[in-house]
Homo-oligomer: A and B are copies of this chain.
Amino acid sequence: MSEVFVGIDLGGTNIKIGLFDSQVKLISKTAVATEADMGPEVVIDKMAQTVEELLTGEGMSARDITAIGIGTPGPAKYSEGIIIKSTNMPKFKNVPICRMLNEKLGAPVVFDNDANVACWGEYAVGAGKGVKNMVFFTLGTGIGGGIINNGELVHGCDENAAELGHIIIYPDGRECNCGQRGCVEAYASADSTARRAQEALEAGSESSLKKVLDQTGTITSKDVYEHLAAGDKLAREITDGTAKALAITCINMLHVTEPKRIVFAGGMIAAGDVLLNRIQDFFDEHIWTLKAEPVEICFATLGEDAGIIGAAALAQHAHQQGKLK
């Protein structure tokens, strides 16, 4: 086999690993528990061993690897290959993960944050295929982001660009986990969507969601979309609040980096067309009329494997660009 890329998605709970061919098609994959409390030496050792096992299963060895890509949440000095610290992996402090993995497997390693990696995956082989300018949002507990400008990820002066969840759309609005007020994340993440519904119920709004809150003590964004499908009025209002916040953010991104396509990923896209259509409605309502060519707004297509696919695709890109050390 001419080229083999390894994609690694390092999370606090699991490490997902995939082997990919020269076209970033999956050859095989696996997942192992991170066991982050064992410390970086043990975790990275296990990571390397798992890669070798996958390779052995395909009749290959570490010598066949063209390049390895890894994604993990920050803060990190990605370009230097160092995890500075990690919320989910407290023992990971100033870990030179790229060098350590390179020493074990012998192949060059590229490294970026999890949102950028997923963004690159969609760009290279998913919903962003065929464009050169893309914006990417992950709608989960928070809202993460990624930006492709002219075929390259935008990293910013200190590798903290594309923190798109913290674009302020309602100055002095709802408090965000980041300490700011009015961030899009404070309205439109899965958590914020659920929280706004719960607050409305607690303030006395009538809704079929009241029963869920009474029975379970909490509301999830999934509950909101289920009750929306059943015709609940509050669920509709909450969804509209989410969709409008995302639409305004899309408009702002159009005016900043002018993407050809905007891709939403993350748990909340399970809501389906009912969410996507409302984002498009609010976008059409609030956008200027000056630009002829409309931006395409769509959902991600890579699903749960986005992390390993994106990491492998990033490794492939670095290889193609001759950027590997």
- Contact residues of A with B, CB < 8 Å? 131-133, 147, 149-150, 154-164, 166-171, 176, 178-181, 244, 248, 251-253, 255-260, 286-291, 293
The residue in chain B whose Cβ has the minimal distance to the Cβ of A162 is B256
Given A169-B169, A293-B158, is A288 in contact with B257 using a C-beta cutoff of 8 Å? no
Q: How many copies does the complex hold?
A: 2
| B291 & A251 in contact (Cβ 8 Å cutoff) | no
The residue in chain B whose Cβ has the minimal distance to the Cβ of A249 is B168
Chain B proximity of A294: nearest CB distance (Å): 11
Name the B residues within 8 Å of A150 (CB-CB).
154-155
Q: A167-B256, A252-B252 are in contact. List 6 more A-B contacts (CB 8 A).
A: A147-B257, A149-B154, A156-B258, A161-B258, A170-B171, A179-B288
Most buried by B among A164, A167, A260: A167
Given A149-B154, A157-B132, A162-B256, is A286 in contact with B169 using a C-beta cutoff of 8 Å? no
Name the B residues within 8 Å of A293 (CB-CB).
158
| A180 & B288 in contact (Cβ 8 Å cutoff) | yes
Given A251-B168, A252-B167, is A258 in contact with B158 using a C-beta cutoff of 8 Å? yes
Chain B proximity of A160: nearest CB distance (Å): 5
